[in-house]
Structure 1
Amino acid sequence: MDKHERELRQLLKEKRDAAQKAIEEGKNEEARTLLDEAKNTKDQLDMYLENRSYEPPATEGRGVTTPPVNNEGQQNENEEQREFTATKEYRQAWFKVLTGKDDDLSTEERDMLQKVIKENRQLSAGSDKDGGYTVPEDISREILKSIHEMNTVRNLVTVVGKNMPSGNFTVRKGVAQKLYNTAEKEQIKELKNMEFDQITWNVKKFAGFLPISSELLDDSFLNFTREIIDWLSESALTTENDEIFYGTGDTNVEGLLTNDVFKRINAPAEVTIKFLRRVKNSIVQGYRRKAVWVMNTEAFELLSNIEDKNGRGILAPDPRNEDSFNLFGRPVQVYDEIITDEEAKTTQIMFGDIKRCYRMFDRKRFEIKSTDVGADAFLTDQTYFRGIERFDGRIVDPEGVIIVEGLKVAEADDLTP
């Protein structure tokens, strides 16, 4: 990234920030002017990048401009990386290096990729060789979109995007209560129902590799990209769901079902409407307003056979979606990642405002590195791709969720046809 490009990007950021401030202050005319100026700056930047893409390959020994150091430190470096990983130049360089066309890289492209590798190594707790090439922003968005279209735990918890390897996060615990009726000049009383706490998060690295035939690398960019999106989105979905449900905590992801801070209640031998209502009322009303029921298919089948005194099933279909159901007015979400003990035939049900009580700290970016010489890749004419994602998960409020333990489910042969 040369000096002129950095200046345009900085100017664009300043215009957007100023426009946002004007919008928040209700200065609509000023905001519109600033947005128009930001659009003009964006157009200049796009034309400059497009024109630069037509430059011939750089010659050996060409100098590389080093960006100045500023007081924002690592956070600013991360923002700069996000900017150039969204460019067409980075996308082209990324595709070249992953498909074995390293010799076609210009000096500027090599420098750009090295910056990415350097930052990703800094996020690795182990060897400095752990880093990979950040997936271009548009492809990362496609991966995240694909994940959200599946049955992902991201739809169950609150996802917080982070660009640093670790840090602290301030959270509010408890539910809002009534303010005091206070006369003029009377001393205002303290609201003791709210607490604030600091949660420490530290992104963990999750990685795996996939062999891809060399023929695919000779295919079109679109086919190659589709394979990468499908692979990373499916792998990330499986990883995230398992870790956030069953993480072991401490230095690992904190699991929703494996922690020791949520309330727990043992299920009776026969689950009744009265018992389920007691589960619902076991958490404060403020948490119940946005609470959900979470269970696997076997637990869902058990509850679907429970009827009220009028012979109606307690699971009420959602008229907006034929595959969705409510229990006592709150949505039921089915995740078959929730384990049923095959020997005891028991499982768990969770109820509560999980979005308020749990945070997933996510880099929202994926990394990839490739080799055609490792293991038996050379002999089998394949290229091995190593995929990496980084996230953490923490419980931020233990009061808003309850877990039903030891729920006895039916044997497969006992299910009503």
Structure 2
Amino acid sequence: MTKELRALLQKLEGAKGEVRTLLAEDKTAEAKDKMDEVRSLQTKVDLQRELEESEARSLGTKTLDDNGKIEERDMVELEKEYTGIVLRALRRKQITSEQRSVIKEYEQRAVMNEGGTDPAIPDGDVGIVVPQDIQTRINELMRDWNDLSQYVTIENVSALSGSRVLETDADMTPFADVDEYGIIQETDNPKFTPISYKVKKRAGYLPLTNELLADNDANLLSYVTNWIARKAVHTRNTHILNLLNTLTPQSLGDLKAINTVLNVTLDPAISRSSIILTNQDGWNWLDNQVDGNGRPILQDDFTQPGRKLYKGRPIAVVSNRNLPTDGTNAPLFIGNLKQFMVLFNRRFFELASTREGGDAWRRDTTELRTIMRDDYVKWDEKAAVFGQLDVTPTP
């Protein structure tokens, strides 16, 4: 998109805003006259867009093919420009009207205003969504720090509340036998479970020193993305573990008890796709178990070096600090967590900064605030078992 088209779009939005204001003030005649200007600007926008597309085709650039590949290249350029504006705003520098149009265009095209941000952003403020390229980096870092959300079902939503209908794992009856020329009878219907969600806002702030803000873009981005990733991982893990802890615990005295859970307690389809989630104490106990020939019970996962498997099921480990041992009983969750719960996630973190509010004015710093929105809902309670593994050292 050229500067000319951005300027026309900004004028068009301004004119529409004036019409809305006049209508709210019951100034119908003035609103009608202003609508003539809106129509004129809309025509100019359409013509300018058509002109740019025509020029782009003649040059062989920024045209859309059936797969939208060229549009993606244009989006990369837009995102790069948008990221620069985010960093500029973090440093409390003025945001021009042209840069505001870039913000509006990016949020409309990339995230469909999921951040719910106001296009009239004050100079130097950054109440806008984190760019997708930075969002990707944050997610990569979260995986490195063992984000437990990778093991559950994630449903990206754009509304603050709503519901989903998910199929229930219910008993089925077989199809009935039918004789030749016989009448086919009605069969049983699939069972569905409605799940409601209500996205909650979770946020935190971090003071940024002037020295950090004066550093280069790469260092500033690295610091901010690391901080957001750490906080997001801890937040998500806490809520996932809290939901798992609502299960009724059962005692697991040895490997035979764990085998019984996998072989009998869980449905075979659930068991085959299960993971084992435990803390450091539970991991240490499992890692020290050997068979009758002194060979370790756990196997190496050759697809992910460093990860271990128990009877083909991967093992995820959480620190004792975040998932503590109760006396001599270490928590051991066994099951398919993607069937157990759904994480309703309103995508894209939001950033805002200030140097006047909070302690920022007294400390001569800039405070960075991050907001994430999500909800954690139980789906199939029978898809996971909360075991308490006795990790008392054997004499």
TM-score (norm 2): 0.71
Instruction: Give yes or no for contact 2:79–2:106 (8 Å, CA) kept in 1.
Output: no
Q: What's the CA shift string for 1:330-349, capped at 9, x where partnerless?
A: 2222122652246x232211
Pair 1:299 & 2:282 matched: yes
Aligned positions of 1:32-181 closer than 5 A:
36-37=65-66, 39=68, 42=71, 46=74, 87-102=79-94, 104-106=95-97, 109=100, 112=103, 120=115, 132-174=127-169, 179-180=174-175
Structure 2 unaligned runs (5+)?
A: 1-5, 10-44, 54-62, 119-125
- Specify which of 244, 250, 253 is matched with residue 256 of structure 1: 244
Partners of 2:169 and 2:366 in 1: how far apart? Answer: 51
Deviating 4+ runs (over 4 angstroms) = 3-8, 37-41, 110-123, 175-179
Given residue 42 of structure 1, which amino acid in structure 2 is its aligned partner? Answer: E
Q: 1:165 to 1:302 in 2, by over 3 A?
A: same
Once the 2 structures are TM-superposed, how far is the Cα of residue 88 of structure 1 from its aligned partner? Answer: 4.2
Partners of 1:6 and 1:174 in 2: how far apart? Answer: 55
Once the 2 structures are TM-superposed, how far is the Cα of residue 162 of structure 1 from its aligned partner? Answer: 1.4
Aligned positions of 1:332-351 closer than 5 A:
332-336=315-319, 339-341=323-325, 344-351=327-334
Pair 1:273 & 2:255 matched: yes
Instruction: Give yes or no for contact 1:176–1:286 (8 Å, CA) kept in 2.
Output: no
Q: 1:378 to 1:122 in 2, by over 3 A?
A: closer
- Specify which of 185, 190, 193 is matched with residue 187 of structure 2: 190
Instruction: Give yes or no for contact 1:272–1:306 (8 Å, CA) kept in 2.
Output: no
Instruction: Give yes or no for contact 2:274–2:313 (8 Å, CA) kept in 1.
Output: yes
TM-score (norm 1): 0.68
Identity %: 25
Instruction: Give yes or no for contact 1:113–1:133 (8 Å, CA) kept in 2.
Output: no
Q: 1:381 to 1:110 in 2, by over 3 A?
A: farther
Given residue 352 of structure 2, which amino acid in structure 1 is its aligned partner? Answer: K
Q: What's the CA shift string for 1:232-261, capped at 9, x where partnerless?
A: 011111111111111xxxxxxxx122x2xx
Q: What's the CA shift string for 1:87-120, capped at 9, x where partnerless?
A: 4443333233221112x42266179469979964
Instruction: Give yes or no for contact 1:297–1:335 (8 Å, CA) kept in 2.
Output: yes
Q: Which of the pair is proportionally richer in helix?
A: 2
Q: Point out the structure with max Rg over C-alpha.
A: 2
Q: What's the CA shift string for 1:135-185, capped at 9, x where partnerless?
A: 112211221122123311022111121122111112112168685264465
Partners of 2:47 and 2:394 in 1: how far apart? Answer: 65
Q: 1:308 to 1:113 in 2, by over 3 A?
A: same
Please state whether the residue corresponding to 2:211 is helix, strand or coil: helix
Aligned positions of 1:305-316 closer than 5 A:
305-316=288-299
Q: 1:402 to 1:310 in 2, by over 3 A?
A: same
- Specify which of 192, 198, 210 is matched with residue 202 of structure 1: 198
Q: 1:415 to 1:36 in 2, by over 3 A?
A: farther
The residue aligned with 1:369 is 352
Q: 1:38 to 1:211 in 2, by over 3 A?
A: same
Aligned length: 327
Instruction: Give yes or no for contact 1:140–1:364 (8 Å, CA) kept in 2.
Output: no
